[in-house]
Amino acid sequence: MDNDVVLWIVVATALAFDFTNGFHDTANAVATSISTRAMSPRVAVGIAATLNFVGAFLSLEVAATIASGIIDADLVTPAIVFAGLVGAIAWNLATWYFGLPSSSSHALIGGVVGAAFAAEGAKAVYGDGLIEKVAIPALVAPVLAMFTAGLAILLAYRIVGRQHPGTVARGFRHGQIVSGSLFSLSHGTNDAQKTMGIIFLALVANGNLAAGDSVPTWVVVSAATAIALGTYVGGWRIIRTMGSRIIKMDPAQGFAAQGAGAAVILAASHAGFPLSTTHVISGGIMGAGAAKRVSAVRWGVAGNIVVAWVLTLPAAAVVGAVTYGVTRLFGDGATGPVVVALALVLALLVAFSRRLVAGRTLTAEG
């Protein structure tokens, strides 16, 4: 009975994480489209929410990596998964509060790894899986997006450079409807699957499923719905950082950044790498900006983002480990997760009441 209570708390927390992932990472998908005025904020967020929902149904490769490639599923308990999720949500909320586009994916992986390490020691963590499936792609992806976007925008300027700037801007604004949509779709395929993987892991840990089973449909549908709702609610603070504080973009740069980002994420989803969509689009934006003029990139803001990237895995791991320790203070039953979950809900309520105020301000500004 206690185990089932913990399982349902885990499922609810995982969906809450998915929701925060949606509103945290909305910026990735739509910030460039909004900042170049390719789409109004409401339309951009609406399209992103819809395509995040659709994208969640397209592939399950990343879910498989999360469920079985990073920690030992046989040693995992629902309490470990819960503590990891709390670590991820706490880090997401902290970086959201400061407007830093850190990685929800790495927060999730860090939180679960930290909690598993605290509970079972090093034997619970697949070191090689963590390095090869998370750390190396995490280093490669932003650089890859930066290089691709940079090269793409240089070629684009060479092709359209002698045309009237207004005509070129108008053309690429139309193109950004497609590139932004493609990026939203790729975000749904990669990010919603992480939550599916976590819920699947909890169901296996609780004995409801075997490790070789497929992901149940209700898990796919609920994860898709949560990320779409979160996306629609939107993360306006981070939209500001992504859309205008790294560089002031023209529509061609926005198109190149989104096109390169979508290409990287779709290719990575195909291979089963749980990439950070935030890292990818940030790299794309920096590449598109630096290719035009290195000084166009606000490297101070970019530096803050890199610091947040570096801190995400260890910080979420520490919070995950501490949360596991706190839940264990209340014994093996459901009391610990219930207490922590209530505290988390309270924190989310406080955070959202402030977010709504910030959202109104930005929308009014256009």
Partner 1 sequence: MAPRFAQVELSHLVEVVWVSIAAGIFVTVAFSFVVLGVARSAEARRTGSGGMALAFGALAVLALIGFAAAVVFGVNTMLTKG
Chain positions contacting partner 1, by CB under 8 A: 58-61, 128, 132-133, 136-137, 140, 144-145, 147-149, 151-153, 155-156, 159-160, 163-164, 167-168, 171-172, 175, 178-179, 182, 185, 189, 252, 255-256, 259-260, 262-264, 266-273
3-state secondary structure of 121: coil
Nearer to partner 1, 60 or 311 (CB): 60
Amino acid in position 303: G
Q: 279 or 355: whose CB is closer to partner 1?
A: 279
Q: Dihedral of the CA atoms 224, 225, 227, 228 (nearest 10)?
A: 110
CB 112 within 8 A of CB 81: yes
- The answer to whether the CB of 196 falls within 8 A of the CB of 223 is yes
Question: 262 CB contacts (<8 Å, ≥6 apart)?
Answer: 179, 182, 183, 185, 186
Q: Quick one: tokens of 91? A: 């880090």
Measured from the CB atom, is 27 or 153 closer to partner 1? 153
Q: 102 vs 148, which CB is nearer to partner 1?
A: 148
Q: Provide, rounded to whole angstroms, the least separation between the CB of residue 359 and partner 1.
A: 31
Where do we find the tokens 């449909």?
Answer: 217
In degrees and rounded to multiples of 5, residue 70 shows phi and psi of -120, -40
Question: Is the CB of residue 210 less than 8 Å from the CB of residue 67?
Answer: no
* Beta carbon of residue 95, minimum distance to partner 1 (angstroms, whole number): 26
Nearer to partner 1, 17 or 255 (CB): 255
Among residues 4 and 128, whose Cβ is nearest to partner 1? Answer: 128
User: How far is it, in rounded angstroms, from Cα 188 to Cα 234?
Assistant: 14
Q: How far is the CB of 186 from partner 1 (least distance, A)?
A: 9
In the bound complex, what is the minimum distance in angstroms from residue 297's beta carbon to partner 1? 19
> In angstroms, what is the minimal distance from the CB of 188 to partner 1?
11
With beta carbons less than 8 A apart as the criterion, state whether 248 and 288 touch.
no
d(CA 78, CA 84): 10
Q: State the nearest-atom distance from the C-beta of 308 to partner 1, in Å.
A: 23
